[in-house]
Amino acid sequence: MAGDSPRCNVHRVMGLFSPRCFEVLNFIGMESDPGHPRFASRGRAYVYVLPCRHEDVLKVGFSRDPFTRFNDLHRRFFDFFDLDRGMLVAVDYVKDARRIERALIERFAADRCVAPLVVREAAAGKTEWYRGVSPAVHAQAAQLAGEGGFDVTAPLRPWLLDRIRERADALYDWSSRLHDMAGDARAHGADAADVERVLMDTLDMCERIGLAVDAHVSAEVARWYRFGGR
């Protein structure tokens, strides 16, 4: 409202965008409606094989929206998982994704392990993490895809980069808005750490996956990212 104090405006904005609304991928608009079911019964779905970068552990699962799913697992999934060894199997129906996932779960049941501690507990699952069988899981997933005539995407980085490029034009305004919000919060004694973390994670994600960040944000945001946000 017109009569609100600057502090009130800052606190309202901070409340509107925390904590879930500030997830890394929100700027590309994936699964933005919290009432929308994560897995619909119809439509394209993806089985994913997602190896960890620094240990011989991988995650198997399926999703209608792999990008959001990866971020659900770890807010810096682009560092935690090895995107160059990951793969997707694209299917036309969720029932096919469930069938492939089930086949992998049953085939590698003896190799199950607990989820890494840094993975978000609510998203980790109980029976979909495996240790020491990465080549075999990849081979089995590729075989099942071939038998069904399904497309395989491997590695993941080019696919993820295409998804980012679809909404790269929105990054300029989105990043400027968060940068301004953080500045307003600090100016009025509010904690800007959550805002800055999400902005940093988003720009890191874009850069790690292959987008030229400086070409898609303002000069002010680019300076903050390169020199002021670390």
Q: How far apart are CA 39 and CA 167, in angstroms?
A: 22
Q: How do residues 67-120 score in pLDDT, each as one tens digit?
A: 889 988 998 999 999 999 999 999 999 999 999 999 999 999 999 999 998 888
Position 20 pLDDT exceeds 70: no
Consecutive H or E run containing 91: strand 87-91
**How many Å is the maximal CA-CA distance in the chain?**
65
Higher pLDDT, 57 or 193: 57
pTM: 0.80
Q: What is the mean pLDDT of residues 32-46?
A: 51
| 111, 130 Cβ separation under 8 angstroms | yes
Position 170 pLDDT exceeds 50: yes
Q: How do residues 199-214 score in pLDDT, each as one tens digit?
A: 999 999 999 999 999 9
Structure tokens at 162: 């295409």
Q: In what order do the strands lie in the sheet with 87-91?
A: 129-131, 57-63, 45-51, 87-91, 151-153
Task: Report the phi/psi class of residue 211: left, alpha or beta, with left for phi > 0 and alpha for psi in -120 to 50.
Answer: beta
Q: Which pLDDT does position 23 carry in this prediction? A: 46
Confidence of residue 37 (pLDDT cuts 50, 70, 90): very low
Lowest-confidence pick of 33-42, 146-155, 178-187, 191-200: 33-42
- Rg of the chain over Cα atoms, rounded to whole angstroms, equals 20
Q: What is the mean pLDDT of residues 47-63?
A: 96
